[in-house]
Amino acid sequence: MNRLVIVSNRVPLPDEDGNPPAGGLAVALHAALRKRGGGLWMGWSGKVQTEAGTEQLEEMEIEGITYALTDLSETDYNEYYAGFANRVLWPIFHSRLDLAEYARKEMSGYFRVNRLFADLLAPRLQEDDVVWIHDYHLIPLAEELRQRGVTCRIGFFLHIPWPPSDILIAMPVYERVLKALCAYDVLGFQTDLDLANFSECLRRENVGGPVGERTFRAYDRTFEAGAFPISIETADFARLAEAADSGDELVESTKNSLTGKQLIIGADRLDYSKGITHRIEAYERLLIEHPERRGNISFLQVTPKSRSDVPEYAAMQKQLAELIGRVNGALGSADWVPTRYINQSLGRSVLAGLYRLADVGLVTPLKDGMNLVAKEYVAAQDPEDPGVLVLSRFAGAARELKGALLINPYDSEMTARTIERALSMPLDERRERWRGMMDHLLTHDVNHWCEDFLAALNAPR
Ligand code: F6P
């Protein structure tokens, strides 16, 4: 079997005892590497160096997998990661042109770090390697590798949405980004909608388009492009939730603290794309329109901080804390707090247990490539008494999870009404909706995603 080489911005290393990292994607990719008897995983170490000397790879071998990590200089970190990747590509791909802060210097830094990755990786590649590159940080990497004479199969998976053409072309260097993607052999998008948007961008630019079922031709290259919806380790997550339900201290004490109240849960990285402020406003509306719910429900919002170096994220952190404070102050009482807001990350097992405890899972992004919290919420439920998933129609997961109650997060009236419907849904309907989603997730788990993509990448040309 050919050696698999994975490249991603961050690299999830096993812990000190050699145990693979938690989390579906990391587990699936480690499993794919091990199945091939090992492989290489390259990326950023997560460390930022102030001094020179970052242009090298530190290699380590753990359980047959070679990890090759590079530090980033402060300038590279600021321009590539905190700059172009997270202040231009992230907002634009999430259709937030208003939040995009384009700077030529940062764009140069983005392409420079991709050249650095290519310089470090190319000499380590063998002709029959299969290379799988992940996410928006590394779009130009295949093109850079090709320029260094690399001829092996190179695939790319975009974890975030691909925007409509009107939005993409507002990005000053969109032609370079679009062309760079066409240097891959297989392009994976989360949904058929992302794929259609990509195809429309090629058509509008008059540079190519589909020539077969999954085959595209653009910029004088032929490549495959398809929708490969990412997923979770469904069966493992279900087991974790069941175990946490009766064995985790925090889950147990949270259950006791509810004293019979219904629990609504939201869990998202602190990111404007997740629609958390819209969600709180909808919850506020529910409490105003249904005063009988006050004191009888509790909303737990778990929101670990992220990308705090990026100004838009720091601003959102402040805005959200103020909003929650205002709602709690206005609608709470001496013996009841409407929203419990946790600005920290919780362990996988605790989260699984809390999802199982919650009567309603609120997953309401304004735009999301997939959203694995939605899938985890479903997997965590008790089959005898499952909760209800309220899901934004703008999450990739909405195209698969047909038993969810779909909402438009911009419509707070509708969201409030839908939360009310979820809170009062009869058991039979909850079971029926949950069963269909769970059956789908059991067959379409993260291993299915990984194997499906790698089969396309390994297919004979
Ligand atoms: O969803 C896209 C993504 O880049 C993931 O790959 C990553 O796990 C997550 O966002 C967190 O982002 P960051 O690495 O910037 O903290």
**HSE-CB of 347 using CA atoms within 13 angstroms:** 11
Separation between Cα atoms, residue 398 and residue 406, nearest integer Å: 7
Q: Of 5-9, 36-40, 52-56, 203-207, which range is least confident?
A: 52-56
Q: What percent of the chain has pLDDT over 90?
A: 88
Structure letter (DSSP) for residue 336: B
C-alpha 241 – ligand 1 centre gap (Å): 24
Instruction: Name the pLDDT band for 1 (thresholds 50, 70, 90).
Output: confident
Catalytic residue among 159, 278, 440, 444: 159
pLDDT digits (tens, 9 = 90+) for 27-37: 778 878 888 88
Question: How many angstroms separate the alpha carbon of residue 26 from the centre of ligand 1?
Answer: 12
- Confirm if 399 and 423 have CB atoms less than 8 A apart: no
In this predicted structure, what is the pLDDT of residue 63? 85
pLDDT tens across 326-336, in order? 999 999 999 99
> CATH fold of 4-231+446-458, please?
Rossmann fold (3.40.50)
Pocket-forming residues, ligand 1, beta carbon under 6 Å: 10, 135, 159-160, 306-307
Residues 24, 25, 28, 33, CA torsion sign: negative
Classified as helix, coil or strand, 20 is: coil
Cα 261 to averaged position of ligand 1 atoms, centre (Å): 34
Secondary structure element (H or E) that encloses residue 366, with its range: none
Domain boundaries, the chain: 4-231+446-458, 234-443
CB atoms within 10 A of CB 308: 11
385-405 in b/e burial notation, b at 16+ Cβ within 10 A? ebbbbbbbebbbbbebbebbb
- Residue whose CA is at the smallest distance from ligand 1 atom 9: 269
Residue 297 pairs in a beta bridge with: 262
Single pTM value for the model:
0.96
- 368 catalytic? Reply is yes
Choose the CATH number for 234-443 among 3.40.50.2000, 3.40.50.620, 1.10.1660.10, 3.20.20.140.
3.40.50.2000
Q: Which residue lies with its CA nearest to atom 15 of ligand 1?
A: 307
CA of 373 to the centre of ligand 1 (A): 14
Ligand 1 atom nearest the C-alpha of 85 is 15
Residue of 159, 272, 310, 368 with the most ligand 1 atoms within 8 Å of its CB, for mutation: 159
CA pair distance 362, 157, nearest whole angstrom: 27
Determine the residue of 139, 232, 306, 449 to mutate for testing ligand 1's pocket, defined as the one with the most ligand atoms within 8 A of the Cβ atom. 306
The average pLDDT across 244-265 equals 95
State the closest ligand 1 atom to the C-alpha of 10, by its place in the atom list counted from 1.
Answer: 14
Sheet holding 339-342, edge to edge: 339-342, 297-302, 262-267, 360-363, 388-392, 405-407
Q: Comparing 243-247, 278-282, 358-362, which segment has the lowest mean pLDDT?
A: 243-247
Q: Rg for the chain (alpha carbons), in Å?
A: 23
Q: What is the 3-state secondary structure (H, E, C) of 381-449?
A: CCCCCCCEEEEECCEHHHHCCCCCEEECCCCHHHHHHHHHHHHCCCHHHHHHHHHHHHHHHHHCCHHHH
Task: Please write the tens of the pLDDT for every residue from 210-253.
Answer: 999 999 999 999 999 999 999 999 999 999 999 999 889 999 99
Residue 89: count of CB within 10 angstroms of its CB: 22
Q: How far is CA 241 from CA 114, 233, 245, 436, 448, in A?
A: 39, 12, 6, 19, 21
Q: How far is the CA of 189 from the centre of ligand 1 (A)?
A: 16
Q: Is the pLDDT of residue 58 over 70?
A: yes
Closest ligand 1 atom to 369 CA: 1
Supply 315's token pair.
Answer: 């601003």
Which residue minimizes the CA distance to atom 7 of ligand 1?
10
Catalytic, out of 368, 440, 444, 445: 368
Ligand 1 centroid – CA 296 distance (Å): 35
| Topology alike, domains 4-231+446-458 and 234-443 | yes
